[in-house]
Each structure stands twice: as C-alpha cells, then as structure tokens.
Chains A and B, each alone.
Chain A
C-alpha cells in the first residue's frame, strides 16, 4: 500500500472525525451561546467550563431505553435516523477543506474526493436528507410526527429551488461545478459575496430552511407538534436525529464558506505562501501554508455556525403560510433576478461593477414600482 493512499485515507478519516467532533461540540456551544444571549452562563458542571457536556449527554442518551412503539413500522422506524445521519455525513466528501499536501513528490488534495460535479453531489445528498425525517415521521405512526415529516418535506422541496437558483449564479461565475475550482476562482479577495450579495442572502436563508433551524424549524415546532418528527423517538435514535441536525449545520456552514467566502482563501495568502516557502523550503512551506488555509476555512465555518445559533436565539418562528410565501413568492423570484444580473455581469466583462449596478437598478425599480402602484398587501 503506497503512502499516498494512506495519507488520503487519513484525510478522509480526519474529515469524518472532525465533522463528528464539531457536531458534538456544537451541541455544547449551542447551549452556551443560548445562555449568553439570555444573560446566563450555560452548562458548566461537566469538566472545566462544562467541556465534557457532550460526552455526558451522549452517555445519557446511550443508557436510555431504546423504545419502539407497538404500532410503528419497525424497520422504517430504525431506518429513519440512520438515513438522516448517513446523508448528513455524506456531504462532507466533496468539500475542499484546504489546498494540497506535498508528500513524496505527489500532490494530495485536502478533500475527500475531487469530482467535477461537486456541488451537485452536495445538492443531491441534501435533497435526500429529507427522507430520514419523512420515513422516521411516518414510521412512528403518530399524527404529530407525520405532520412534522410532511412539513419538513414540503419546506425542503420549496427552499431547494431557490437554493439551486442561487447556486447557478455562483456556477456561472466559476464556470465549473467542482467546489475546488469555485474556491480557486475566488483567489485574491474575489469572494463571491462581494459579487452577489443578493445570492448570498438567498443561499443563507435557504440553508437555514434546509437545516430546519429557527426561524424555519416548523418540522419540530414544540408548541404545535410536541417535538415534530422525533416525537416518538428516544435513546440514541433521537440522538442520531439531533446529531444529524448539527452535522448538517456544520456542512452547510462549510458549503456557504466555500461558495461565497472563498473557502480556504484569505487576504495576504500569496505573501504568506511566499514567506513560508522561502523560510521552510518548498515542500514544508507549501504544507504549512495549506495548514494556514485550512485553519482560516475552519474559522469561517465557525463564524457561520455562530451565526446559525445567534439567529436561532434571535428570531421567532415563521408561520407556515409565511414560510411558503417567503420561499415561493420571495426567494425564487429574487434568485431569478440574481441569475439575470449575474449573467449580464459575466457577459459585460466588468463582473463586480455590473453586478452592483444591476442590484441597484433592481432595488430602484422595485422602489419605483411600489411608489407608483402603492402595494396594500403587507406580506412579502
């Protein structure tokens, strides 16, 4: 077995382990951030600063009774959480966590697999994520669970459209589906967020909806549906559902950072690379600057995870019709407008300038429209 293969396996295992660890600590930080926002201090009993809390939670879940309701569809009841976890973990395969490692004269990419359909893979797996919820909710044989599952499905389908349309604008700019190419095209502070702020906002909103996070957490809205699709679940099956939500959050943050915030690119990257290779030699310097890029990427991911939690403890839940209105009548038309603006900007040759001019013209037009025709409707 050659060493390149071993390093590749190590990278894949590393990505796997890191996503699980981050998901575990997201549960801890979710509680800490919630506490801080509510002027409390959060869990601080298990270990120093409560850092062992995820372990304690997992231990508790493992020792709870693993109950399957009598009238439930037994196999599907087990399949539901497994699918949710599986799809959550599959997405991280194509995300470029860093540049490449030089070893033994070969270049090994810090990425699970580099395929030319990267973003489509993410998209496909995310669209499968709803099966875990749908099957689990139905198999529970409980009205509340079924409602939660149906809500999750319709919400995911609705927001996938706007998400896809906003991704297409990014793909137009990079003219590739490969996530690595998209990241490389943003080199030198050409981050997509500067080119299409509208697309970024649409994508961010949609990823909130896809992760079933507040303000779009209708599938598990506890004051209407008990606990939504996981009402009947307990023990580690419930743990898998909750855990998959946190893995999804991590992956979404990674995808947002990749698509819009330049992935592992950071200002002054070339200077760092030059200094590193000068001082430590070509190979070690290259690997060190790869490490720096990976760390920057993780910093971006953490920033987005924080945003996810911050928003959760700020905004109230949408009503169901508001959710659908926002998705179908708000985000999809906006995404199409964004698509047209991006297309015009790409053709004009001055992408940045034309993007902003297009956005300004669009906003001005909308203002003019509402000034002339004076809308009476209060919902978007």
Chain B
C-alpha cells in the first residue's frame, strides 16, 4: 500500500517537475511547481513527517508560490522568451544543465546513504513534539540565528520599499 502510494506520488512529482521546466507559459510553469510542492508534501506524509508536510504546504505552496503567481500575473509574460530562438543560448544552456545533472548523478552515486534500522527507528521522529524539543535544545543557536537573519531580511525589504524623497509614487 505504502509502496504503491509512493509510486503514484512520485509520478505526480516528476510530472509536475517536468511540467515546470517544459511549459512555455510562465503561469503554467508556476502551477506545475505548486503541484510538485504538493506531491513533495505527500512524500513527507509517507515518511510520517506530518508537521514538515503541513509547513511545506503553508509556507511554500501557500505563501511563496502565491506571491510567485502574483508577480508573474502582473508581469504578464505571454510570449515565449526570445532567447529560446537563439541557438547559441540553447547550446550553452544544455551544456551547463547537462554538467550540473552529471555532477548531481555522480554525487548521488558516490554518497553513502545511511540506512535506518527498522527495529530501533522512532516512529515519532517527524512529529512536531520531537522536532520542537530538538529545535529548542540542541539546535537553539542556529534556530535563533535564522530568526535574526529573517529579521534583517525583513528590515532590508522595508528599507527597499520605503519611499524616497523626490521619488514619485503614482
């Protein structure tokens, strides 16, 4: 059952990912990306990490992708980009992409993926209680640093968005 759901969800993920890079319309691309995020959340649920799944939906699918869609809709990119007709760009892009793909495949092949022992595995690893305890004890410093980073980013955004003297708004 779990295995079959994994296959179904994986097909959806790959379909969404391929659609993202292959569709010519930017809006379609974003919607495919949302589908991908959704399938990834389903993967998290299959791994018994419900909190991560929910947060993935709330933050990525729910907030960030809405903003993406928002911006793309405003820009109204209807025509396909003119660079795609340029052969040189196409060749360069394929070389770069192929190289990155090669590196990734090689890296995955070389990586020693640690196997989980099913007898000692804690089912509740992905649960929010475990996660919270870990975040606020062992990883407290990185966690707080990340929040400081976010604060700085937010202040920066406010600074950028602020009206400057002499600048005309509307």
Contacts and interface: CB of A to CB of B under 8 A. Distances in A.
CB atoms of A and B under 8 A apart anywhere in the complex?
A: yes
B69 A117 contact: no
B73 A149 contact: yes
A261 B57 CA distance: 27
A128 B50 contact: no
B54 interface: yes
Given A120-B55, A124-B58, A157 B74 contact: no
A131 B34 contact: yes
A295 interface: no
A228 to B, nearest CB: 15
Classify chain B: how many residues form its interface, as a range. Answer: 20 to 34
Interface string A215-259: 000000000000000000000000000000000000000000000
Mostly helix, strand, loop or mixed at chain A's interface?
A: helix
Interface in B55-106: 55, 57-58, 61-63, 66-67, 69-70, 73-74
A359 interface: no
Given A134-B73, A150-B73, A120 B66 contact: no
Contacts, number: 69
Contacts of B128: 116-117, 177
Contacts of A117: 50-51, 53-54, 128
Contacts of A354: none
B69 A123 contact: no
Contacts of B28: 76
B9 interface: no
B127 interface: yes
B62 A121 contact: no
B31 A76 contact: yes
B38 to A, nearest CB: 9
B152 to A, nearest CB: 18
B27 interface: yes
A201 B64 CA distance: 27
A93 interface: no
B31 A123 contact: no
B83 to A, nearest CB: 24
Classify chain A: how many residues form its interface, as a range. Answer: 20 to 34
A130 B66 CA distance: 8
A128 B64 CA distance: 11
B90 to A, nearest CB: 27
Contacts of A124: 54, 57-58, 61-62
Contact of B127 (A116, A123, A130, A149): A116
Given A128-B61, A138-B27, A153 B66 contact: yes
B60 to A, nearest CB: 10
A150 B57 contact: no
B28 to A, nearest CB: 8
A127 B67 contact: no
Interface in B100-146: 127-129
Contacts of B62: 123-124, 127-128, 160
B73 A138 contact: yes
A78 to B, nearest CB: 13
A127 B54 contact: no
Interface in A281-321: none
B50 to A, nearest CB: 5
A127 B57 contact: yes
A120 B69 contact: no
B12 to A, nearest CB: 15
A17 B27 CA distance: 34
Given A76-B27, A116-B128, A123 B58 contact: yes
Contacts of A150: 70, 73-74
18 contacts: A117-B53, A117-B54, A120-B54, A120-B55, A120-B58, A121-B54, A124-B57, A127-B58, A127-B62, A131-B66, A131-B69, A134-B70, A138-B27, A149-B73, A150-B70, A153-B69, A153-B70, A156-B66
Given A79-B31, A134-B70, 7 more contacts: A120-B51, A124-B58, A131-B66, A150-B73, A150-B74, A153-B70, A177-B128
Interface of B: 27-28, 31, 34, 50-51, 53-55, 57-58, 61-63, 66-67, 69-70, 73-74, 127-129
Interface of A: 73, 76, 79, 115-117, 120-121, 123-125, 127-128, 130-131, 134-135, 138, 146, 149-150, 153-154, 156-157, 160, 177
The 7 A-B residue pairs with the shortest CB-CB distance, nearest first, are: A127-B62, A124-B57, A120-B54, A124-B58, A117-B54, A117-B50, A124-B54
